[in-house]
Structures are given as structure tokens and as C-alpha cells.
A and B are shown apart, each in its own frame.
Chain A
Amino acid sequence: MREHAMKLMNRDVLMKPLNPLAAIATAFLAAGLVVWITGGEPIEAYIALIQGAFGSESGLMNTIRYTLPIVMLGFSFSICDRCGYFNIGQEGQMYAAALMIAGVQVWFSDLPAVAMLPLMILSAIAAGGIICLVPAILKFLFGVNEIIIAMLVNYIIVLLTNYLLMYSSIADTDKTSPMSITILPSISRPVLIILALMIITAYALCLRSSAPGYRLRMVGFNPHFAKASGIDTIKLILIVSFLGGAFSALSASGEILGEYHRIYTGFAANLGFYGMTAALIGSQSTLGLVLGALILGALQSGSVSLSVMTDVPSELVLVVQGFVMLFATISILQRWTRQSV
């Protein structure tokens, strides 16, 4: 019996890193096949991608720049997932956070930048957190499916954002396309990277070694057990849901304050799915999640040089990302089904 169990264990240990890696490798193979069938050179394309993403200092900076928001969204998905809350509302949470940032810019325009910047981030966190709480409250207190709610909330917020970017005091009406006024306080890229590294370290440390992190892991392993042992699971789940939204808000804050300095209509489009994919690749491990985000970020930053250096259109990157998502999801499904047997 023991031997059998040991062997099972070993397989789990083996599968853990292998599974997501295999998913990524398969994704690249499949996308390569697409390139090859359409008459391109897959190897050449991938070399161009890698060179674009890692071959130069500016390319590397770009890769990091695209990676950071995905990491935050990965955290957002991952902690909610541990409580059984499938958080796909990240886009909505990001737009809500961005709107709050713009709102602070309009309402508190007299504040000095040192005060305005933290106020912007805090109100963004509050907005993202509350938006993320709505489906969680409906799910865990009333049994409503959170995925449907999150998708509907997403639509509402995306459309609301589009409206406000055209017809409100945050809209920049001088421009032909809808966008917000300029957000004045900004965070420089090095500071952004340092802040992000601090958040990543704190996240990993808290999850591994803090008492609340322990409780979250126990709820993730077995909510019935956690509850019977005296953990207030509902309270924990609601706090975690707020934090999930807060991470989305941090992602949005980085994008708005560090990169765009304005809100554009589609600035967060699809980012939520990248975060989810990174979390699935990482499967419970923080390092894995960051690496997963790095791959997705590298694809985005490499896509520019892809179209410059080869005949392969930069849309190939979308194909690869799609395949990564697909196979990462499959590998997760496999694990779930094996656990349930």
C-alpha cells in the first residue's frame, strides 16, 4: 500500500512542473504548425520572437513591462481560485479601478502629487475590491453562479467606461477617439518594477508563512475541514475576494500611472485571461505563476520584432497565447479529474 502511495506521490511530484511545461511546449508546437501550414517559417519566427523579447535591453524592459500586470492578475485569479471562486471579472475590476484614478484626478486636482498618488491607488483598490466582492457575496451567500455575474458586471463596467470616456468630466473631449484626460501623477518604470517585486515577495511570503495564508491554503485544500476546524470560511472567502479585486486594481494602477497616463477604451482587453493563464501555468506555485506571466509578457513584447524581422504577422502571438491558454486549461482539468477519482 505504502509503495503504491509513494509511487503515486512521485507521479504527482513529476507532473506538477511537467504538466504546465508540456502545455506551453504543445502550444508552441501547435502554433508553429499553423505558421508552417500557412507557408511561414516557424523556427525563424520563434527566433525573432525570442530576440525581440530578450535580445536587447529595451526588449527586455518591454517584456518586464508586459509581465507585471499579468503577474498581478495572476495573483487575483489564483487567490480567489483557492477559495473556489472562479474570478473572471478582472477586466471589470481594472476598468473600475481606472475610473476611480481618473475620478481622483478630477475631484482632487488641487492635491500635490505625493498625496494624490497614494489616494489614487487606494481608491482604485477599493473600487476593484468591491467589484470583485459582488459576485463572491452572491455566490457564497445566495448560491448564484459567479461566472455569469462576473461576465455581466464586466459588460456593464466596460460600457460604462466607454460612456464616461466620451461624456463626463473625466473625458478628454478634444480627442477624436474616446479617452480620459491626462492623469498627472506618474510612477517611473524602475520604481514600478521595485514596487512589483516587493508585492510579489510579500505575496509569496504571506501565502507560505503567515497564519492567514495558512488558513487560505487549508480552505483551498479542503473547505469542509477548514470550517470544522474553526476557520471562519465565509469571512476568509470574502476578504480574499476583496484582495482578488485589489490585485486587479494594482494591475490597472501600474498600467495607468506607469505606462498610459490616460484611460483608453480597451486598455485592459483580454488581460484578465492572460492572468488566469499564468495562474493556471503556475498551478499553486508563486514562482510558476511569475514564470508563466513572463512567457505571456515575452510573447507580447516580442510580437513587434516578429512582424519587422519576418514575414510572419504579429498576430501569430495571439495564436500562441490562445494555444497556451487552451493547453494550460486542459492540464488543469486533467489534474482536477484525477483528484476527483
Chain B
Amino acid sequence: MNNSIEMKSITKRFGSLTANNKIDFQLRAGETHALVGENGAGKTTLMRILYGQYAPDEGTIRIDGREERYNVAKALKLGIGMVHQNFMQISKMSIADNIILGHAPKKGFFIDYKSAKKEVSVLLDRFGMKVSPDKLIGSLCVGERQKIEIIKALYLGAKVLILDEPTAVLTPQETQELFQIIEELNSEGKSVVFISHKLREVVRIAHRVTVMRKGEIVRCFDKNEIQETEIARAMIGKQEVSLIQNKNRGNTGETIFIAKNLWVFSDEGAVKVRDISFDVKAGEILGIGGVEGNGQSELINSIIGMTGISGGNLRLVEADFADKTIEERRNLGIGYISEDRMTTGLALNANMDENVICGRENSPQFSRSGFLKRKEIADHSQKLTKEFDIRGIHAEKPVKQLSGGNMQKIILAREISRKPKLLIAAQPTRGLDIGAINFVREQLLEQKAKGTAILLVSADLEELMSLSDRMIILYEGEISGEILSEEFIENSVTEEEIGLMMGGASRSKRQVS
């Protein structure tokens, strides 16, 4: 097979950081080449160079044997397309408009909508999408929108398709569909670069796997060498790769938190949480699963008090708290590990001391008659730095200079040091490397052992299945299924079953069929 793309000795530096160091990367026609590595390994940088977004500092790119230097516009002409993690789409425009945007066929001065729609329809048909090209992009679900992105790249004549973490937002079923599309593209001689963290998927779809670490290529696996454990080892560069599991499932105490007949509406008046009831017991990790955007964020926000509820009841131990302020709820014993470190989790421009006392600046521990006790605050923050092994802290410097793992540790330290009764952990390991993931898991399990009730919301099914004592699945604001701790202990529930619930199929229906 010929190399359709050959990147040779590519180096890219950002200031003193070398994001890509002398990288060689080849892509053959008709193959799926997976690019794996931890966050910050340089995968996306390398692909942005291939896509023409960055110019390499050193090295050459050959496309079909010819050396090329190009920007994004020319990359499209050369047949290189990229589907980004965050879709570049305009929700208020139609499918057809989004696809032809910037490349519309013209008839004189006007856009030739007729031929554009015809072409788009053909492509939609080919991918089994039974939607009109006039439908608004915003009305499609995430999986469909991703297909549209792929269709757009093909419409522009892509022979090489770069998919950046394409399965992060998909259900297992949608992922299967995506894989079928990828295989079909391969059979037409088109090549795909598949960037991912998820090794199982990589093993399933890739012909070759290149592993990157710290801006360098560790190893390139050929089809017959691909093995999950080997790849994982290459990724983190250590022998120890196993993620920590909850080994004490179902061992729980009295009920700590109750949500009863909860209703939450969005600002626009759409139902986000529909009549949900559940409870969490002491020492229990209740996992909340589901494809993102099915009411998880709204549910959490209503519990911590960022948004109001429209109906129902919230209770912590003996106290109803639905009408309490955020501060009162936190003082009652609700801790919150934010799903977004950068917005609700931390003040990035503030330093460690300021970040760990936020919300407690008025407590007698940290202030006297309205003025902060600098010494006590510094001591407290130093104690937490040690306890949670937070690296890279400088007293006066803003926390934005820290790595994601260390930022997350600050949040954990702040929330856990308040000794919460109910700890809400939303996407607690998102974007972290394996070492940091295990640290977070350890901390959560330690809290479980101490009798904290934990509400774990995650988009990562593996994480939910590894940690949860019990699990509920949200679909369009309702609970579409529950998995009991016995089922986890007996291992009688499969990822596929949960996947179906994530797609809205309720359990009883499946049992009937």
C-alpha cells in the first residue's frame, strides 16, 4: 500500500514547550490509523499541523508523494478534512446550509440551492439519515450532528478524514454506527485518522495504532500487534495500568439524600428534569449515567442551588433544603466537584489560598471581625497541598499555571476538607491522565469508606461501572433504568444493556421483547 500522507520529522514548539518533537507519521490509503496518548501528548497538535491550522517549525509533509506547504483552505483542496471535538456548526441554519457553507455551488451571482440540496440529499441517503436537508442543525441529536460533520468533509472532497475524539459524546450504539461508516470509507480507499483515549474502540477499529507521549512517538503498532494492554503501557510508560475499582459494593448505611418528584425547567421553559425521585445512602456511590445533555447538569445544578426547581422536594438527612441558598446548602453539608474546572470549579487567576477558602471566608477559622487571617489560611492551604499531593503550587501565583490534574486536586481538597455529607462529583476525571484518574477514584472511595453519600455523574461508562454501588440512567430528563448493586456484584449487567437505556429503551420493555 502507498502512503497517501507522509509527515517527516515534524517539530512544533509553543514558546519553550515542544508539543511535537521530530514526529514521523504515515497514513496509507484506505486505512484507519488511530492516534492515542494522554492529554497533552501532542496528538491534536500533530493533526492540526496536518489539517493546516498550524505550520510546523521543522519537517516536511508529503501528500501523494508531493511535498506541500499549506493552510486550512488549501488542506481542503488537497483532500484533508477534520471533524473537531466541538462541532463547527451553526445551529440556526439548515443541514444543507451548514454543509455548503463557504463552498456553495453558484449560478451566476446566486447560490444554486437546487443542485446543492440534491447533492446533500444523496450524501444523507448514503449514510442512512432519513432527514430533510432543510431541517435545522440545532434540532438534531449529537450523533446526527457528528455525521453531518463527516458528510461536510466528504462533500468538500476529503480523501483523508481526521476525527478528533469522535466517540466522546456518543452512546455505544451510535459509536457502532460511526464505526460502520469508517469501515465503509476505508473500503472506498479513504483514510481516517482516529484520535481517542478509549483503547477498546481503538483496538476494534484501527488498522494501525500510533502512541504518543510528551510530544514524541512511543511506538507504532501494526494490525497484528494491536493489544489493549500493550497500548496502555506504551501510553503511560509504566507497567501498572489498572484503574482502581470499587471493591466494596452495596455496603451502605442510612439514607442521606432524597430527591422526590423533582421537576426542573430550563430558562426557555423546556423540561429538563421530569418527575425524578431517587435517594443516596451513607457510604454509597450512586452513579448517574446517560448521554450528556439528558438532564444531568440541570439535576446537579438544582441540587447545589445554582438553579431553582419547579416542583418536588430535596432533603438532606432531616432537612428540606429546596428553598435554601447555595451558601446554606453548602453549610448543611453539600460538596460539589464541578464538571467544569475552568468556570465553576476554580478562579484561575486567583492563587491556591484564595481558591481553597472560597465560601468559607466568613468562618471564624479564616477571618476575624471581617478581616482574613492570612496565616491560618496559608497553613490550611499548605496542609491540603501536602495531604492531596498537589504539585507546582507557588503561594502568590494564580492556579491557572497548574496542570489539569493538580487543578482537580485543589477542588477535591477544598470540597473534601469541608467534610460533606453529600458529595456531588460531576465528571471528576474528565481530561485527566491515568495517574490523576486513579488519585480521584481513590479519594472518592475513601470518602465512601468514611460514610459520605456520593453522587457520581459521568459521561464515562467505564468509570460509572467501576465505581458505582448503584446506578441510574437519565434519558431526556427521566430515569430510564436503574442498576442495583447486586447486578454489579454478580456482573450480570453489560455495557450494551446500559447503552440501550442511555438511548431511552426502558428496562421492562426490553424484557418483554
Identify the A interface with B (CB < 8 A): 1-9, 209-212, 214-215, 217-218, 221-222, 224-232
Having A7-B15, A230-B325, A232-B326, one finds 19 other A-B pairs with CB under 8 Å, namely: A9-B401, A210-B371, A211-B371, A212-B370, A214-B357, A215-B361, A218-B354, A221-B347, A221-B348, A221-B349, A222-B350, A225-B345, A226-B358, A227-B306, A228-B326, A228-B336, A229-B358, A229-B359, A232-B327
Alpha-carbon gap, A215 to B354, bound state (A): 10
If A225-B345, A227-B326 touch, whether A8 touches B401 (CB-CB below 8 Å) is yes
Identify the B interface with A (CB < 8 A): 14-17, 40, 304, 306, 325-327, 329-331, 336, 338, 343-350, 354, 357-359, 361-362, 367, 370-372, 374, 392, 397-398, 400-403
If A6-B401, A228-B336, A232-B325 touch, whether A211 touches B361 (CB-CB below 8 Å) is yes
- State which of B331, B348, B361 has its C-beta within 8 Å of the C-beta of A222: B348
Return chain A residues, CB-CB under 8 Å to B372: 209-211, 214
A-B contact pairs, 9 of them (CB 8 A): A2-B403, A4-B15, A4-B16, A7-B16, A9-B397, A210-B370, A210-B371, A214-B361, A228-B344
- State which of B16, B327, B336 has its C-beta within 8 Å of the C-beta of A231: B327
B403–A1 contact, CB under 8 A?
A: yes
Q: Which residue of the partner chain B has the closest CB to A13?
A: B397
Q: How far is the CB of B129 from chain A (nearest CB, A)?
A: 35
Return chain B residues, CB-CB under 8 Å to A6: 401
Q: Which 6 A-B pairs have the closest CB atoms?
A: A230-B327, A4-B17, A229-B359, A221-B347, A230-B359, A5-B401
Alpha-carbon gap, A7 to B14, bound state (A): 11
- State which of B14, B331, B347, B392 has its C-beta within 8 Å of the C-beta of A2: B392
Alpha-carbon gap, A5 to B350, bound state (A): 15
B325–A225 contact, CB under 8 A?
A: no
Q: Which residue of the partner chain B has the closest CB to A231?
A: B359
The A/B interface has a contact count, at CB < 8 Å, of 96
Return chain A residues, CB-CB under 8 Å to B325: 230, 232
B371–A8 contact, CB under 8 A?
A: no
If A2-B401, A228-B306, A228-B344 touch, whether A218 touches B14 (CB-CB below 8 Å) is no
- State which of B16, B344, B362 has its C-beta within 8 Å of the C-beta of A225: B344
Q: How far is the CB of B165 from chain A (nearest CB, A)?
A: 20
Alpha-carbon gap, A221 to B402, bound state (A): 17
Q: How far is the CB of A24 from chain B (nearest CB, A)?
A: 24
Q: Which of A3, A215, A230 has the largest count of B CB atoms less than 10 A from its CB? A: A230
Return chain A residues, CB-CB under 8 Å to B326: 227-230, 232
- State which of B16, B329, B345, B367 has its C-beta within 8 Å of the C-beta of A3: B16
Alpha-carbon gap, A9 to B15, bound state (A): 12
B15–A8 contact, CB under 8 A?
A: yes
Alpha-carbon gap, A2 to B16, bound state (A): 10
A225–B17 contact, CB under 8 A?
A: no
Q: How far is the CB of B341 from chain A (nearest CB, A)?
A: 10
If A7-B16, A8-B401, A229-B359 touch, whether A224 touches B354 (CB-CB below 8 Å) is no
Q: How far is the CB of B435 from chain A (nearest CB, A)?
A: 14
Alpha-carbon gap, A228 to B362, bound state (A): 16
Alpha-carbon gap, A214 to B363, bound state (A): 13
Q: How far is the CB of A236 from chain B (nearest CB, A)?
A: 12
- State which of A7, A212, A218 has its C-beta within 8 Å of the C-beta of B347: A218
A225–B346 contact, CB under 8 A?
A: yes
Q: How far is the CB of B395 from chain A (nearest CB, A)?
A: 13
Alpha-carbon gap, A209 to B392, bound state (A): 25
Return chain B residues, CB-CB under 8 Å to A210: 370-372
Return chain B residues, CB-CB under 8 Å to A222: 343, 346-350
Return chain B residues, CB-CB under 8 Å to A231: 327, 358-359
Return chain A residues, CB-CB under 8 Å to B401: 2, 5-6, 8-9
Alpha-carbon gap, A15 to B16, bound state (A): 19
Q: Which residue of the partner chain A has the closest CB to B18?
A: A4
B358–A225 contact, CB under 8 A?
A: yes
Return chain A residues, CB-CB under 8 Å to B371: 209-211
Alpha-carbon gap, A210 to B348, bound state (A): 20
- State which of A214, A217, A224 has its C-beta within 8 Å of the C-beta of B343: A224
Q: How far is the CB of A215 from chain B (nearest CB, A)?
A: 6
Q: How far is the CB of B377 from chain A (nearest CB, A)?
A: 10
Alpha-carbon gap, A170 to B345, bound state (A): 54
Q: How far is the CB of A230 from chain B (nearest CB, A)?
A: 4
A214–B15 contact, CB under 8 A?
A: no
Return chain B residues, CB-CB under 8 Å to A209: 371-372, 374
A211–B15 contact, CB under 8 A?
A: no
Q: How far is the CB of B316 from chain A (nearest CB, A)?
A: 15
A226–B40 contact, CB under 8 A?
A: no
Alpha-carbon gap, A1 to B358, bound state (A): 27
Alpha-carbon gap, A270 to B327, bound state (A): 41
Q: Which of A6, A214, A227 has the largest count of B CB atoms less than 10 A from its CB? A: A214
Q: How far is the CB of B300 from chain A (nearest CB, A)?
A: 10
Q: How far is the CB of A185 from chain B (nearest CB, A)?
A: 31
Q: How far is the CB of B86 from chain A (nearest CB, A)?
A: 15
